[in-house]
Amino acid sequence: MHFIKHLSLLPSHFLNSTNQTMTKIFLVLVLLQTLFNILVVASAGNLNQDFDITWGDGRAQILDNGQLLTLSLDKTSGSGFKSKNQYLFGKIDMQIKLVPGNSAGTVTAYYLSSLGSTHDEIDFEFLGNLSGDPYILHTNVFTQGKGNREQQFYLWFDPTKDFHTYSILWNPQSIIFSVDGTPIRQFKNLESKGIPFPKNQAMSIYSSLWNADDWATRGGLVKADWSKAPFTASYRNFNAQACTWSSGSSHCSSSSSSSSPSWLSQSLDATGQERIKWVQKNYMIYNYCRDTKRFPQGFPAECSLA
């Protein structure tokens, strides 16, 4: 399997003899979850109904009767799209296949954001790399205009070979980032401790493919190879169980007939907690809560409380 082969790209200390067996067990569980998610999300709707192409002069396209969306980047311009709806809490899934081959210098961003100087934002960003080197998945959370909460990960598969599901569960208790149903990060609501949490500003979904070769790959040392352009990322099977926001009020959707959607109170169960520990132990490559050079006067408050 290509996801097993991809493990050889990770630093050796990630896969030492003491955790190889546990890693293999978890990878089997993750693969099963991946297959389940592909089957479940396959019933999602028409991308024409959910998104507008917002920029790119024809470099973004919705194809196959609304079943596929592609973004392209060349030396002149990238491209992007935005959701027709705004959301205030939800469980939002998108299947993405990233730029294959030499993707150095490119960034594929997929995120929720409100507007204004005190905006809230929940980020997935995929930092491209040279052929054979792993993508970096960059995550961040902004509250009231303040971010600087970066966590970065390698993935346990090659995200350019096939579509994979990237999910955000955002409810009043927490924000959970997941990949193929496996949670990789949680940002808890710690308002009682004085830490802002996104809960009052409706957010749109945005995605863009753009040139960031001044910083994206090895701090900007590796530039985009424009002879390989156009670079293309693909999207399908968008699914939102969410509260849509319109004219100052929200309407919440659910996969069941209950009046209160299950995702609105969903949290990590024991299995989810074990999986997030496994991901962070084996695949996390940067955590702002451990960056002593960046925070010499002490880490942000949520680092000790979470």
Radius of gyration, alpha carbons of the chain: 19
Residues written for the chain: 306
Catalytic annotation on 274? Answer: no
The token duo for 164 is 């994979």
Which listed residue (121, 150, 274, 302) is catalytic? 121
The question of whether 302 is a catalytic residue gets the answer no
DSSP 31: H
Angle among Cα 105, 107, 239 to the nearest 5 degrees reads: 160
Among all chains, which residue has been given the structure tokens 């490119």? Answer: 106
Distances (CA, A) of 49 to 10, 67, 85, 164: 40, 11, 10, 22
List C-alpha distances in Å: 59 to 36, 45, 55, 73, 188: 32, 22, 8, 7, 37
Phi, psi of 299 (to 5 degrees): -75, 160
Q: Write out the H or E segment, with its range, that includes residue 302.
A: helix 301-305
* Catalytic site residue from 125, 150, 191, 274: 125
**Catalytic residues, which ones?**
121, 125
